[in-house]
Amino acid sequence: MEGRRKLYRAWDAQQNCSDPVSPRDALPENDLVFFLIDLVPQLDLAPFHEHYADELRGQPPFDVTMMVPLLVYAYAVGACSSRKIAAACERNRAFRAIVGGDRPDFRTISDFRKIHRAALKPLALEVLRIAGELGMVRLGNLSTDGTKMRADASRHKAMSYGYMAKEIARLEAEVERLLQEAERLDAEQDAALGSRRGDELPAELRRREDRLAKIGAAKARLEAEARARAQEEQRRRDEARARREAEGRRRGREPAPVKPSPEDKAQTNFTDAESRVMKQSNKGFDYSYNAQAVADGADQIIVAAAVTDAANDKQQAVPMGRAALANLEAAGIGRPKAADGTAVPIPNTADTGYFSAGAVAGLEGPGLDPYLAVERQKHHGAAPEPEATAPAPGAGAVEQMRHKLSTAAGRALYAARKRIVEPVFGQIKSARGIRQFLLRGLEKVAAEWQLICLTHNLLKIWRRTCGAGAS
């Protein structure tokens, strides 16, 4: 046995580097990239083409039917950065199956995503329509929830309102000092140079003036937001006072006057001014957006997606419910009907963060059947015991909803929420690794969230049509 050893398979690095390998031969037949290459060009991409209809200048752009599958595939596999996508187009066989030898650079990819953000909503409706045709949207339980997604904004690029006032005073004094110094230097140079040109405005002065302008604009934003909140609070108080007077009720101690100016601790971010500090799942705080989704109970298809800068979900139940119904209608997915042909209200479940009497009424109006928790429930706690008697006539919204959730149907519907919408966020954030937005500003972030959610739906459709063996 001496002198013998295990033989290895033949390997020739130089030969391997020179051998052409086709992605079609190297990848599985039912790979996601081939599914998207076949499917996406069949969708209505007219909103993407419209941008180039009247633009005849410059070099021909990359084909829309190549760029859309590229962007969709990249987000589907969690490669959201334009630089990562461009690098993958050079090194990854699946990406090269889309772009071939004519690879767009990262700037082209980034610009395409920004230019066509308005076209992503119609594309999401096209994908929803396909899911409906496949029977993946059954409307037995529309579940609403939200998740905090980090913004592309650093906590180190923020400043509080109280500190702004001090910084503005300091910078104004610095600018005044530098202006006086500049005047002194001008006088000396005029005496020495006469009418000849001297130095330009000192860079130090330009930097301070620029910073002063940015802080002033941020301070004005905080003040405008504080005035809007004060007006809304005053309106709420006036309505409450009018109701009490109409009912003949008296009020105790008057609350403190509404303060129209920001608190000293109020902050704004210079990188993304529309993002807000929000509590994260790890109990920390970071600049974020509140990403909302409504998912159908059959296959976790997202039927509505939106983004808000509000940290809580209290005002999101009605807008999300109405958006879901509008999207279903636009996608041609009909509502369930009773034997007599009348539309049956669609159950809509959400946790206690969405509950209010106004939310219940606002959801029932357009044809939803809300099941909104009135109090926090433990994730693995026992279901509420059925209430023996129905609430008395004229009972408040809390009592009525508590009774509704205690029924057998209510308990089953609300319990299903934990396997409908909550796993959707896990699939996006953990499985695909998308935990942060890359665009800035509420409008751009909302478009990126549409792209994230439509790729979620495409992954569901791919797994349904390509069989359980697809990975």
How is the chain split into domains, by residue range?
14-115, 138-153+276-449, 156-269
Q: How many CB atoms lie within 10 A of CB 119?
A: 20
The average pLDDT across 284-307 equals 94
Q: How far apart are CA 63 and CA 52, in angstroms?
A: 10
Q: Is residue 103 over pLDDT 70?
A: yes
Q: Are strands 346-350 and 142-150 parallel, antiparallel or unpaired?
A: parallel
* Tokens representing residue 200 in the block: 């330009």
Query: In Å, how far from its chain's centre is CA 406?
Result: 33
| Block residue for tokens 């409906």 | 132
Q: Is residue 56 over pLDDT 70?
A: yes
- Among 202-206, 209-213, 319-323, 362-366, the least confident range: 202-206
Percent of the chain scoring above 70 in pLDDT: 78
Is pLDDT larger for residue 272 or for residue 98?
A: 98
**Which of 457, 465, 454 is closest to 34 using CA atoms?**
465
In eight-state DSSP terms, residue 119 is G
| Res 470: pLDDT | 43
| Res 192: pLDDT | 57
- Among 131-135, 167-171, 256-260, the least confident range: 167-171
| Res 321: pLDDT | 96
Task: Tell me whether residue 407 is exposed, middle or buried, using C-beta atoms within 10 angstroms of its C-beta: 0 to 12, 13 to 18, 19 or more.
Answer: middle
Kindly report, residue by residue over 320-339, the tens digit of the pLDDT: 999 999 999 999 999 888 88
